């Protein structure tokens, strides 16, 4: 082979290497159409955000007589930067397959904002007048600054239901509709109110505000799974109280124990206020998810390796114990529901 041909190949190889390095190091946002659903990734030094936009698209394996026109639902896995990202690499494959199966959107958020901020921002995204150009808008408690979640969307998305999972949690029953955990009372009408932006907005008190692994007698937490009804008339005031409480406690990315105890305290106060308020209270503010469905590694619908209340922030040492367990569960779930995990 001549020197000219060798030089050409060497130049091509160098160019390709430089391009790969640039792609790997750049803050990227990309849109990819694959299997009719949209994906979107945004990364920065502080956060990593990944979206699967499935709502409005035809699921790949739609079963007969099923409708995907129900409440617009988002499944979110939220975690701090660090070792937990390795857990997400395992569990997100299963949760994304579940979301695709039901036509729900999926979001993974790696960053330092507490869940109270993320849930409140998803609620704020429902407003059409979001002042996105300066990254701020005005809320009841002052100026609300957007995190990269809303800025990573091509347009605001108005979710009705948000399901929050930890980094090691997986929905293992892919034929189970997660909305069954927060069912609607069909005898109760959906009403409308005017919000602070003078928009007429539907409220849905036919479903509880919150469903989770929480006992109320006595108050106790047995799972970190959270299901939120963003249409509930009590949601706005509740989320503001939750944020204010996190600000007071300097809540950032703390351990599960601290986060869940904080949420439990706010839920207790909200339940008392709700029972004293006027209106139809035939649907409880909080709904308990049956323990057997979300009971750690033994959960029949959602499995989670870590103890919801005793495990602190995950360390590299913890991964040696956790990853083999959740990898086995993920592989078994994907085998049972093949080929759903292959199309995400």
Instruction: Give DSSP secondary structure letters for 5-34.
Output: HHHHHHHHHHHHHHHHHHHHHS--EEEEEE
Q: Are 144 and 124 in contact (CB under 8 A)?
A: yes
Handedness of CA 6, 7, 8, 10 (dihedral sign): positive
Q: Are 102 and 52 in contact (CB under 8 A)?
A: no
Phi, psi of 162 (to 5 degrees): -125, 130
Q: Is 80 helix (H, G, I), strand (E, B) or coil?
A: coil
pLDDT band, very low/low/confident/very high, at 123 (cuts 50, 70, 90): confident
Contacts of 199 (CB under 8 A, 6+ apart): 127, 128, 129
Q: Are 316 and 83 in contact (CB under 8 A)?
A: yes
Q: Which of 84-93, 109-118, 121-130, 193-202 has the highest mean pLDDT?
A: 84-93
Nearest CA among 304, 312, 306, 226 for reference residue 266: 226
Q: CA 14 to CA 17: how far, in whole Å? A: 5
pLDDT band, very low/low/confident/very high, at 161 (cuts 50, 70, 90): very high
Check residues 282 and 298 and name the one with the higher pLDDT: 298
Contacts of 216 (CB under 8 A, 6+ apart): 271, 286, 288
Token pair 């006027």 in the structure block, residue = 278
Per-residue pLDDT at 30 exceeds 70: no
Task: State the burial class of residue 258 (Cβ atoms within 10 Å of its Cβ: 0-12, 13-18, 19+).
Answer: middle
Q: What pLDDT shows up at residue 17?
A: 43
Q: Would you state the structure tokens that stand for residue 224, as one six-digit string?
A: 């970190």
Per-residue pLDDT at 176 exceeds 90: yes
pLDDT band, very low/low/confident/very high, at 112 (cuts 50, 70, 90): confident
Nearest CA among 108, 119, 121 for reference residue 81: 108
Q: Which of 182-186, 220-224, 261-265, 276-280 has the highest mean pLDDT?
A: 220-224
Compute the average pLDDT of residues 37-45: 61
Token pair 């920065």 in the structure block, residue = 44
Q: CA 253 to CA 289: how far, in whole Å? A: 25
Per-residue pLDDT at 193 exceeds 50: no
Check residues 63 and 306 and name the one with the higher pLDDT: 306
Per-residue pLDDT at 217 exceeds 90: no
Handedness of CA 127, 131, 136, 140 (dihedral sign): negative
Of the ranges 47-56, 194-203, 204-213, which one carries the lowest mean pLDDT score? Answer: 194-203
Nearest CA among 286, 282, 290 for reference residue 229: 286
Q: What pLDDT shows up at residue 37?
A: 55
CA atoms within 13 Å, Cβ hemisphere of 211: 21
Q: What pLDDT shows up at residue 48?
A: 86
Task: State the burial class of residue 105 (Cβ atoms within 10 Å of its Cβ: 0-12, 13-18, 19+).
Answer: buried
Which stretches of 178-315 are DSSP H helices? Answer: 235-248, 256-276
Check residues 272 and 308 and name the one with the higher pLDDT: 272
Q: Which of 93-97, 132-136, 271-275 has the highest mean pLDDT?
A: 93-97
Check residues 341 and 279 and name the one with the higher pLDDT: 341
Whether this model's pTM surpasses 0.75 = yes
pLDDT band, very low/low/confident/very high, at 47 (cuts 50, 70, 90): confident
Average pLDDT value for the chain: 74
């Amino acid at each position: 082979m001549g020197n000219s041909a060798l030089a050409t190949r060497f130049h091509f190889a160098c160019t390709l290497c430089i391009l790969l390095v640039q792609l790997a190091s750049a803050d990227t946002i990309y849109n990819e159409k694959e299997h009719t659903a949209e994906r979107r990734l945004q990364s920065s030094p502080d956060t990593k955000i990944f979206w699967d936009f499935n709502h409005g698209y035809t699921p790949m394996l739609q079963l007969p007589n099923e409708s995907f026109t129900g409440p617009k639902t988002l499944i979110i896995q939220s975690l701090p930067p660090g070792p937990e990202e390795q857990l997400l690499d395992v569990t997100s494959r299963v949760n994304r397959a579940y979301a695709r199966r039901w036509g729900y959107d999926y979001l993974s958020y790696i960053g330092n904002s507490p869940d109270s901020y993320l849930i409140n921002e998803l609620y704020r995204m429902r407003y059409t007048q979001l002042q996105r150009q300066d990254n701020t808008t005005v809320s009841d408690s002052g100026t609300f600054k957007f995190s990269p979640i809303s800025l990573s969307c091509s347009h605001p998305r108005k979710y009705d239901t948000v399901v929050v999972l930890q980094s090691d949690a997986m929905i293992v029953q892919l034929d189970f509709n997660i909305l069954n955990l927060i069912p609607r009372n069909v005898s109760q009408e959906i009403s409308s109110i005017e919000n602070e932006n003078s928009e007429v907005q539907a409220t849905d008190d036919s479903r509880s505000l919150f469903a989770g692994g929480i006992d109320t007698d006595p108050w106790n937490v047995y799972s970190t799974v959270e299901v939120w009804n963003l249409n509930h008339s009590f949601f706005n005031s509740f989320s503001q109280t939750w944020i204010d409480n996190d600000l007071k406690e300097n809540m950032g990315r703390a351990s599960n124990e601290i986060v869940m105890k904080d949420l439990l305290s706010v839920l207790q106060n909200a339940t008392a206020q709700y029972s004293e308020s006027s209106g139809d209270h035939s649907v409880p503010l909080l709904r308990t998810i049956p323990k057997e469905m979300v009971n750690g590694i033994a959960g029949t619908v959602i499995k989670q390796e870590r103890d919801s209340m005793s495990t602190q922030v995950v360390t590299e040492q913890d991964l040696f114990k956790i990853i083999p367990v959740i990898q086995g569960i993920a592989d078994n779930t994907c085998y049972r529901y093949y080929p759903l995990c292959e199309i995400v």
